[in-house]
Structure 1
Amino acid sequence: MGSEIRRSMPVLPISIVMQLTDLTARQIRYYEEHNLVQPHRTEGNRRMFSLNDVDVLLEIKEMLERGTNMAGIKKVFAMKKHVNTEGKKEISDRELRRIMREEMLQARSMQKTSIRQGNFTRFYK
């Protein structure tokens, strides 16, 4: 069995995910409502999370701690998903920062504000 298959297997109940991530059940359900994480549901409708889901939740938590709002987090995930659907590998944080920096510099040179600048200026201090 490949490591990616193991990482995507839904084996963790929400109680364990809460301990691993230091998030409340309410927070986890909120991120699920916003389609940032999609845990598997058992026949009894219990949420079961994979290690990949835990990684996503930790990434969300880290972005929130850095001051990114939910709209910004959704944009980051949408950009990652868009890149993945084009058949390319997942975009790295470094690559995302490079893209955002270039966009902000280009907008600045045209004396305009980047559409995303309000959400991402904290990354480019």
Structure 2
Amino acid sequence: MTRTRQLRQDLAILPMGVVEQLTGLSARQIRYYDQQNLIHPERGSGQQRRYSLNQIERLMEIADYLDAGYSIADIHAVDQKKQKKTGVVDQDAVRRSLQAEFIQIGRFGTSKRGDIS
């Protein structure tokens, strides 16, 4: 039985410094795209951002859009159109949204006065 090896482009193992070298972007630019929810790096044990090869391609796509004159809002609109067209849901965005919701629920469930349990 032969086993086909395939590069795992979705494995987030690349640190910020490597991403800077591969994309030509500054750490500030990359962090900004993260803050604008254009990319969603995973976090290592020390909370350092870790990127996959797919995310490297995404960063280069974002840079191309910005170079072509698109705004951040325009890029979000393009992303939404792509999602509607393909019907593909951004699983990372759904996971982050649920995490934020659970954190918010947890805050409501603990009261300093002890009147909510």
For the residue of structure 2 that corresponds to 1:12, the secondary structure is: coil
Shift of 1:52: 0.5
TM-score (norm 2): 0.66
Gapped regions of structure 2 (runs ≥ 5): 89-117
Q: Percent identity?
A: 39
Shift of 1:2: 6.5
Q: Counterpart in 2 of 1:8?
A: 10
2:30 to 24, 28, 31: 28
For the residue of structure 2 that corresponds to 1:79, the secondary structure is: helix
**In structure 2, C-alpha distance between the alignment counterparts of 1:52 and 1:14, rounded to whole Å:** 14
Gapped regions of structure 1 (runs ≥ 5): 88-125
**What pairs up with 1:60-79 in 2 under 5 angstroms?**
60-79=62-81
Q: Deviations over 1:81-104 (max 9, x none)?
A: 3334x25xxxxxxxxxxxxxxxxx
Amino acid at match of 1:76: V
Q: Deviations over 1:25-78 (max 9, x none)?
A: 111011101111001101210110000000100000001111111111111112
**In structure 2, C-alpha distance between the alignment counterparts of 1:27 and 1:51, rounded to whole Å:** 17
**In structure 2, C-alpha distance between the alignment counterparts of 1:10 and 1:16, rounded to whole Å:** 12
Divergent runs of 4+, >3 A:
none
Q: Counterpart in 1 of 2:102?
A: none
Amino acid at match of 1:67: G
TM-score (norm 1): 0.62
Which of the two has greater helix per residue? 1
**In structure 2, C-alpha distance between the alignment counterparts of 1:27 and 1:2, rounded to whole Å:** 34
For the residue of structure 1 that corresponds to 2:22, the secondary structure is: helix
Q: Counterpart in 2 of 1:100?
A: none
Query: Number of matched residues?
Result: 86
Amino acid at match of 2:10: S
